């Protein structure tokens, strides 16, 4: 329901909510202020399991920087928490509402403001969908490399908030490496610019990097200057089947040690391969214990695939299948793209972990996840951006079964503990949100956590920006 100012004053909502809506309508059009409980409830959470979500007082959908500033000034004046949101495709509860909050949805700020082929930058608003930006810059012979699996839905603002990665990280890096500058509305409504449009710049503290991955806890990103790359040649893909996960991980180590720079290096364990077969009847051999996909977008990808294929065979690959053209490459990648959908079909609900370990410890993580699955009597499939050690162990469970839900959460925690034990991190690209708050404290340690909280205090002294997330 969209409320006019007069309707808000006559509503049966508590006086504090009525006053909040009135103040918001002083600087926002009526269609940008949503109060219908059925509508606002649909904005209460992202895609993560086991993450509590509160009931928002109101959802606002600004279109301009000035409107965002008005929202933050109102929130500061009334001491109301604000939860920034993009497309809510996140997997850590970072976009989950808190009781009585303003949900600040930035999806209507979706303009691509500039594409500059000379400086190789794009200037965008936070609601621009990742895939839309990629297609727009491709028309200029450029690319925006970060490509999360949800790239057809997720927004650039959300990617910045969680420091997203993607399938091509092994060669091209993650979101943080492409954010050159930001315009940020602070908690009190002031507008701050960070960074630059230039290729180089080291003036002052790097506040741009500070905001990347801050999950909306330090300010509201309203504009981003993003670095672009020349559009690469089309890639060719190779699939290698292995009789063990350890052999596949050995191949990963051989590929990286030999100096190859694949544009993609992805791994699927046997549970995932079988789930994909069950879902899509792709005909992958049931004997496959691990499937490794490697791609190159070099001037001579066939030669690179041949070299990598030989390394896979030396590591014990039972079959190596290089694609001959783009169509075959796309067919091979389809199995990887279907992985999470296929694992969701096993039980209906999944918890997707995001542990990243050194590549040299990848085999130990795979073996540990298998052991954890057996100990907790659960189905846990694992897919990985193997080239950078970022794994996604995916716990399949029935949320209607309390005992299975308990075991699912216990296994999730056991996997994070294993990741830290192996010298890794609790999140490579999904963020902390609500789901991993306790684990962030363990990873950072008391001094690190104290410093992080001190930074939060400087930017958000009232604690109104996305409260309850991260710490």
Over the stretch 408-435, which tens digit does the pLDDT of each residue have?
999 999 999 999 999 999 999 999 999 9
Looking at the structure, do residues 341 and 242 belong to the same domain, yes or no? Answer: yes
Structure tokens at 141: 């012979």
Structure tokens at 148: 């999360």
Query: Which residues are within 8 A (CB) of 121 and not within 5 positions of it... i.e. 6 or more apart?
Result: 114, 115, 180, 197, 225, 226, 227, 228
Looking at the structure, do residues 125 and 224 belong to the same domain, yes or no? Answer: yes
Residue 100 has pLDDT above 90, yes or no: yes
Mean pLDDT rounded to a whole number for the chain:
93
Which percentage of the chain shows pLDDT scores above 90?
86
Last residue of a domain, one of 71, 105, 139: 105
Looking at the structure, do residues 328 and 344 belong to the same domain, yes or no? Answer: yes
Would you say the C-alpha torsion 166, 352, 90, 93 has a positive or negative sign? negative
Is the residue at 291 inside a domain? yes
Reported pTM: 0.92
Give me the residues paired with residue 8 across strands: none
Looking at the structure, do residues 259 and 378 belong to the same domain, yes or no? Answer: yes
Residue 1 has pLDDT above 90, yes or no: no
Query: Which residues are within 8 A (CB) of 464 and not within 5 positions of it... i.e. 6 or more apart?
Result: 75, 76, 79, 80, 81, 82, 187
Over the stretch 153-181, which tens digit does the pLDDT of each residue have?
999 999 999 999 888 889 999 999 999 99
Looking at the structure, do residues 95 and 155 belong to the same domain, yes or no? Answer: no
CB 264 within 8 A of CB 170: yes
Over the stretch 184-221, which tens digit does the pLDDT of each residue have?
999 999 999 999 999 899 999 999 999 999 999 999 99
Which CATH number belongs to the domain containing residue 167 in this structure? Answer: 3.30.465.10
Looking at the structure, do residues 156 and 98 belong to the same domain, yes or no? Answer: no
pLDDT at 111: 98
Over the stretch 110-160, which tens digit does the pLDDT of each residue have?
999 999 999 999 999 999 999 999 999 999 999 999 988 888 999 999 999
Instruction: Give CA–CA dist 462/224, Å, rounded.
Output: 26
Residue 73 has pLDDT above 90, yes or no: yes
Is the residue at 177 inside a domain? yes
Is the residue at 445 inside a domain? no
Is the residue at 256 inside a domain? yes
Mean pLDDT confidence for 445-462: 97
Residue 463 has pLDDT above 60, yes or no: yes
pLDDT at 11: 36
pLDDT at 348: 85
What total of structural domains would you count in the chain?
3
The CA distances from residue 179 to 94, 124, 149, 455, in Å, are 20, 11, 19, 20
pLDDT at 4: 43
Instruction: Give CA–CA dist 195/207, Å, rounded.
Output: 7
Residue 2 has pLDDT above 80, yes or no: no
Looking at the structure, do residues 117 and 208 belong to the same domain, yes or no? Answer: yes
Instruction: Give CA–CA dist 235/225, Å, rounded.
Output: 27
Looking at the structure, do residues 260 and 344 belong to the same domain, yes or no? Answer: yes
Residue 393 has pLDDT above 90, yes or no: yes
Query: Which residues are within 8 A (CB) of 179 and not within 5 positions of it... i.e. 6 or more apart?
Result: 160, 195, 208, 209, 212, 224, 225, 226, 227
Is the residue at 84 inside a domain? yes
CB-count burial class (<10 Å; 0-12, 13-18, 19+) for 292? buried
Is the residue at 363 inside a domain? yes
Which CATH number belongs to the domain containing residue 82 in this structure? Answer: 3.30.43.10
Q: What range defines the domain where residue 94 resides?
A: 5-105
Instruction: Give CA–CA dist 56/122, Å, rounded.
Output: 33
Is the residue at 427 inside a domain? no
Instruction: Give CA–CA dist 416/50, Å, rounded.
Output: 15
Which CATH number belongs to the domain containing residue 328 in this structure? Answer: 3.40.462.10
Looking at the structure, do residues 268 and 398 belong to the same domain, yes or no? Answer: yes
Last residue of a domain, one of 64, 80, 105: 105
Residue 13 has pLDDT above 70, yes or no: no
Last residue of a domain, one of 105, 136, 162: 105
Looking at the structure, do residues 408 and 274 belong to the same domain, yes or no? Answer: yes
Is the residue at 432 inside a domain? no
Mean pLDDT confidence for 425-448: 95
Looking at the structure, do residues 275 and 183 belong to the same domain, yes or no? Answer: no
pLDDT at 149: 83
What is the DSSP secondary-structure string of 228-288? Answer: -EEPPPPPEEEEEEESSHHHHHHHHHHHHHTT---SEEEEEEHHHHHHHHHHH-----TT-
Looking at the structure, do residues 272 and 415 belong to the same domain, yes or no? Answer: yes
């Amino acid at each position: 329901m969209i409320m006019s100012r007069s309707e808000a004053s006559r509503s049966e909502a508590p006086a504090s909510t009525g006053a909040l809506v009135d103040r918001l309508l002083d600087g926002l059009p009526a269609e940008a202020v949503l109060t219908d409980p059925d509508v606002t409830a649909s904005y209460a959470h992202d895609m993560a399991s086991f993450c509590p979500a509160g009931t928002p007082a109101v959802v606002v959908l600004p279109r301009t920087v000035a409107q965002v500033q008005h929202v933050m000034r109102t929130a500061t004046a009334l001491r109301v928490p604000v939860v920034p949101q993009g497309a809510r495709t996140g997997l850590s509860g970072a976009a989950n509402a808190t009781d009585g909050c303003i949900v600040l949805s930035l999806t209507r700020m979706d303009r691509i403001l500039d594409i500059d082929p000379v400086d190789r930058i794009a200037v965008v608003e936070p609601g621009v969908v990742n895939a839309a930006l990629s297609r727009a810059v491709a028309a200029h012979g450029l690319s925006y490399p970060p490509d999360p699996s949800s790239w057809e839905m997720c927004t650039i603002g959300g990617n910045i908030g969680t420091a997203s990665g993607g399938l091509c990280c092994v060669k091209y890096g993650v979101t943080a490496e492409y954010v050159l500058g930001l315009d940020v509305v602070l908690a009190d409504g002031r507008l701050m610019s960070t960074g630059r449009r230039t290729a180089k710049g080291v003036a002052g503290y790097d506040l741009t990097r500070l905001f990347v991955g801050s999950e909306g806890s330090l300010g509201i990103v309203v504009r981003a200057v993003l670095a672009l790359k020349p559009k690469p040649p089309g890639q060719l893909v190779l699939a290698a089947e292995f009789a063990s996960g350890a052999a596949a991980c050995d191949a990963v180590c051989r590929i990286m040690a030999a100096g190859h720079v694949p544009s993609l290096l992805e791994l699927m364990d046997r549970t995932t391969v079988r789930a994909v077969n069950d879902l899509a009847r792709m005909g992958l051999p049931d004997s496959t214990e691990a499937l490794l996909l490697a791609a190159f977008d070099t001037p001579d990808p066939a030669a690179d695939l041949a070299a990598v294929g030989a390394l896979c065979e030396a590591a014990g690959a039972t079959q190596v299948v290089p694609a001959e053209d783009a169509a075959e490459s796309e067919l091979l990648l389809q199995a990887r793209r279907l992985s999470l959908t296929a694992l969701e079909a096993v039980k209906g609900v999944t918890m997707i972990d995001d542990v990243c370990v050194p590549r040299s410890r990848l085999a130990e993580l795979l073996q540990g996840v298998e052991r954890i699955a057996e100990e907790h009597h659960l189905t846990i499939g694992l897919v990985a951006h193997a080239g950078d050690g970022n794994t996604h162990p995916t716990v399949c469970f029935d949320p209607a079964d309390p005992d299975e839900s308990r075991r699912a959460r216990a296994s999730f925690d056991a996997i994070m503990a294993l990741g830290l034990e192996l010298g890794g991190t609790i999140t490579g690209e999904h963020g902390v949100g609500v789901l991993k708050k306790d684990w962030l404290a363990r990873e950072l340690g008391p001094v690190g956590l104290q410093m992080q909280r001190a930074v939060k205090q400087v930017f958000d002294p009232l604690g109104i920006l996305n409260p309850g997330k991260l710490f």
